[in-house]
């Protein structure tokens, strides 16, 4: 397990840090992720894809922390526009720890549609979106790896996000009005 922590700590910290203004909150989430890893190891539950598992746990913890800090009421959904609350609502469906047969089914539908939508993107847009959003790699690091300018990468991600928003709008509406 120390090798896993050594190999993934800096990447996870970067991924988590991008989502918080507070270094303390980011550190708390990182500690919770590694605590969860230790618990899984203690219970001798095998993890097939460690990187994916770590980022998923990190997303769960980020959402949990946002929920704890949330003080505003639920948003009105009749505007037709995405806002931060919409994204949080969809994220909670995708990454929430609570599991009922209904939420598991909805979660699987969302992941299937997201994968389909991602596969429709041009490869360079999909790559930068997945590296930045799903793996938590900074634009600077992606630039160093690929040799592409940071502004090009930002632009590609922007196009990917715009496409995904449009492509998944119906699913989004169906789930939020569900």
pLDDT in tens, 148-175: 999 999 999 999 999 988 888 877 776 6
The CA angle 158-161-164, to the nearest 5 degrees, is 150
What does the alpha-carbon distance between residue 176 and residue 178 come to, in Å, rounded to a whole number?
A: 5
The pLDDT, as a whole number, for residue 34 is 85
Residue bearing the bigger pLDDT, 5 or 94: 5
User: What are the angstrom distances between the C-alpha of 35 and each of 29, 61, 71?
Assistant: 10, 11, 27
CATH topology classification for 78-178 = Arc Repressor Mutant, subunit A (1.10.10)
State the chain's mean pLDDT as an integer: 76
Contact 126, 118 (CB under 8 A): yes
**Which of 11-15, 30-34, 59-63, 145-149: highest mean pLDDT?**
145-149
Contact at 8 Å (CB) between 11 and 135?
yes
- Burial (0-12, 13-18, 19+ Cβ within 10 Å), 146: middle
> 81, 84, 86, 106: which is closest to 96 by C-alpha?
106
**pTM for the complete prediction?**
0.47
Task: Report which of 127, 106, 141, 129 is spatially closest to residue 89, judged by C-alpha positions.
Answer: 106
């Amino acid at each position: 397990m120390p090798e896993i922590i050594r190999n993934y700590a800096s990447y996870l910290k970067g991924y988590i840090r991008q989502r918080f203004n507070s270094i303390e909150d980011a550190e708390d989430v990182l500690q919770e992720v590694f605590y969860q890893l230790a618990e899984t190891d203690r219970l001798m539950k095998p993890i097939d894809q460690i990187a994916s598992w770590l980022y998923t746990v990190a997303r769960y913890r980020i959402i949990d922390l946002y929920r704890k800090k949330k003080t505003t009421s639920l948003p009105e959904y009749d505007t037709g526009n995405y806002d931060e609350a919409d994204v949080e609502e969809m994220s909670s469906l995708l990454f929430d720890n609570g599991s009922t047969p209904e939420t598991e089914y909805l979660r699987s539908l969302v992941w299937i549609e997201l994968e389909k939508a991602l596969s429709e993107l041009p490869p360079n847009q999909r790559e930068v979106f997945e590296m930045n959003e799903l793996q938590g790699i900074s634009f600077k690091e992606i630039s160093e790896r690929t040799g592409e300018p940071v502004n090009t990468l930002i632009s590609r991600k922007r196009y990917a996000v715009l496409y995904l928003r449009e492509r998944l709008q119906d699913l989004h509406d169906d789930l939020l009005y569900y």
